[in-house]
Amino acid sequence: MPAEPTIVERSDQPYVAIKGLVTMRTMGTIIDRMPEVFGWLSARGVEPAGPPIFKYNVIDMERQLEMEVGVPVADTVEGDDQVLSGVLPAGRYATAIHIGHPDKLVDATTALLEWAALRGLRWDKTETADGERWGCRLEAYLTDPAEEPDMDKWETELAFRLAD
């Protein structure tokens, strides 16, 4: 991890997304739906209020993940049968910026989790039969691929909500 993680306070943030159940091998099936989210927003005349996000709701790396691909918006937007509307919760988040190819995010995530463990920080998560259910665990893709096609130069923010 190139820079020391930080703890930041975040406000509620409305967003829209498409949710799916995937495995580590099939994650591309939900990731590939991100253009649908942008198209949905465009059709409604709604501008994104931030970079694209991947939100990990439930994680069981060996079996499946419940995740969302989405985009922050300025105000709550009503969803439909394809795109859900939600709010990323306010709170304290441990954050880190990963610079590099997205396939290295597993290592960056491990480093952030270890950083927090060394400081005695607790995550907003609970253990369930389906895996770890997170209050909010995000990857925000800060680099526009149209402006920087070299994935090794991409910046991705990891933001994981801490327990109160």
Q: What is the mean pLDDT of residues 143-152?
A: 93
pLDDT of residue 50: 96
Q: Among candidates 99, 38, 100, 93, which has minimal Cα distance to 69?
A: 38
If pLDDT is split at 50, 70 and 90, which confidence band does 2 have? Answer: low
Q: Under CATH, which architecture does the 6-161 domain have?
A: Alpha-Beta Barrel (3.20)
pLDDT of residue 1: 43
Within 10 Å of residue 52's Cβ, how many Cβ atoms? Answer: 21
| Cα-based distances in Å from 63 to 22, 66, 88 | 9, 10, 25
Q: Domain map of the chain by residue range? A: 6-161
Q: What is the pLDDT of residues 80-139, one digit of tens each?
A: 999 999 999 999 999 999 999 998 999 999 999 999 999 999 999 999 999 999 999 999
Q: Has residue 3 got a pLDDT over 80? A: no
Any idea which residue has 């991705």 for tokens? 156
CA distance 51 to 142: 6
Q: Among candidates 104, 112, 18, 124, which has minimal Cα distance to 66?
A: 18
